[in-house]
Amino acid sequence: MFNQKLKRVNYLYNVAVLFILFVLGGISVAAAAPVAAIGAVATGSLLNCVKMPGFAFMAVQVEIWENHIEEAIFKDNAFIRFSFNADEYVNGRAVHIPQSGGAGNVVKNRAFTQGGATVRKRTDTDVLYLIDEFTTDPVLISNAETVELSYDKRESVLGEDKNQLSQTIAEEMLYNWTHDQNTGAVLPATSIIKTTGPIVQATAPGATGYRFSASLSDQQRAATFLRTQNRWFEGQMYALYSANLHAQTYPADSIVTATYMQAATEDERRNGLLGKSNGFGIMQRSNVFTIAADGTIKAPGAAPEATDCEGVLFWYKDAVETANGDMKMFDQYGNPVYYGDLFSFLKRVGGRARRADWRGIVLLVQGQPTQAQIDAYLAAH
């Protein structure tokens, strides 16, 4: 009986192959034809394994998926660990941070009168911040995707959603460290200094024109500022640079850069530090702050403008606080409406500067040269 697995087009192909082989072997054309027809049936299963030339028969093309999927790139969020840990309060709605009313006077050789020394009562206040709840959009992994794809789409989708959630929270945390979401107060202008390095082209996303670059001298000014605030504690001071401003401060061809980068231990590097200089543990992410022309620190996701500048954050570890909850995943397998599995993530987190006067935090913002300075720079270059 004719091999039912052998399709007609394959059978004709097998006949042609055998016919050619027989003729080349010396069999006459008249004798080769019937022998090839019979042989094609007998050897059909074997010859059916022969790959059909695409130009001869337009065979169905197999779709090939690579096992590796190109993932999105996420920013470094290690800096969040270098803050006061208030995780124990994350299950509440609001967190209050008591503020001392200040110390009393100290008098040398106090002269006591009949009434004695004046008694004072310390009046404490507080600042508070809310615990925010961040959630991802529910995502569907259909049954077909779990069966037909050669790569694990579920693992890829959930990994990216989790990373995106962490990145969003990190950027919101930076914003919260410089903004009071309860009162609307912001990091004061007295806690903001400007870069003074050589003139370079603007580096903020979408920005144009020229700015003063960041330098080690600016970093030293930030250290001095924090020392004058009595908020300097060795081994607990940190700096978070954008990629652009880090490259300006630490040129790759500088011996000084190599020295500072080698100052961090292997353990510190694993925790996110790139190096140490001027008493700061140095960290980096693709961007830190974007500052508008009027000096306003822009919220995460705000539209870029040509006049924007970048910023670097310097801080004392206990000057900022983070209440960081666990990541919770919600899942529903075998949903009968969507014919697949549904997943989403939720995380509760909050944070703020721990002092109402923002001591222990300083922001370095790109300075803007005058037109005369820009003209002189262009003439020299």
Mean pLDDT rounded to a whole number for the chain: 85
Higher per-residue confidence, 162 vs 24: 162
Highest average pLDDT, of 25-29, 95-99, 118-122, 239-243, comes from 239-243
- Residue appearing with tokens 């022309």: 293
User: What is the mean pLDDT of the segment spanning 215-223?
Assistant: 97
User: What is the mean pLDDT of the segment spanning 333-339?
Assistant: 94
Residue 76 above 90 pLDDT?
A: no
Other CB atoms within a 10 A radius of the CB of residue 265 amount to: 11
DSSP per position, 93-151: SEEEEEE--------TT----TT-SPP-----EEEEEEPEEEEPPPEEEEHHHHHH-SS
Instruction: Give pLDDT, residue 24.
Output: 62
Contact 314, 237 (CB under 8 A): yes
At 142-162, the pLDDT tens digits run 988 887 777 788 888 888 898
Instruction: Give pLDDT, residue 245.
Output: 97
Residue 55 above 80 pLDDT?
A: no
Per-residue pLDDT band for 57 (boundaries 50, 70, 90) equals very low
Residue 51 above 70 pLDDT?
A: no
Contact 344, 140 (CB under 8 A): no
Instruction: Give pLDDT, residue 325.
Output: 83
Segment among 162-171, 225-234, 355-364 with least mean pLDDT: 162-171
Contact 223, 233 (CB under 8 A): no
Per-residue pLDDT band for 34 (boundaries 50, 70, 90) equals confident
Name the phi and psi angles at 132, rounded to 5: -90, 155
Per-residue pLDDT band for 47 (boundaries 50, 70, 90) equals very low
C-alpha span between 45 and 142 (Å, rounded)? 37
Instruction: Give pLDDT, residue 254.
Output: 87
Residue 72 above 70 pLDDT?
A: no
DSSP code, position 378: H
Residue 189 above 90 pLDDT?
A: yes
DSSP per position, 291-356: E-TTSPBPPTTPPP-TT-EEEEEEEEGGGEEEEEEEEEEEEEEEETTTTEEEEEEEEEEEEEESST
Higher per-residue confidence, 64 vs 381: 381
DSSP alpha helix (H) spans, 192-279: 216-228, 243-249, 255-261, 266-270
C-alpha span between 104 and 92 (Å, rounded)? 34
Q: Which helix (H) or strand (E) holds 290?
A: strand 289-291
All structural domains of the chain: 1-62 (no CATH), 78-100+123-380 (3.90.1690)
Q: Cβ neighbours of residue 169 under 8 Å, at least 6 residues apart? A: 77, 134, 347, 349
At 82-117, the pLDDT tens digits run 999 998 888 778 888 887 777 788 888 777 776 678
Q: Which residues of 126-148 are buried (b: 16+ CB within 10 A; e: fewer)?
A: ebebebbebebeebebeeebeee
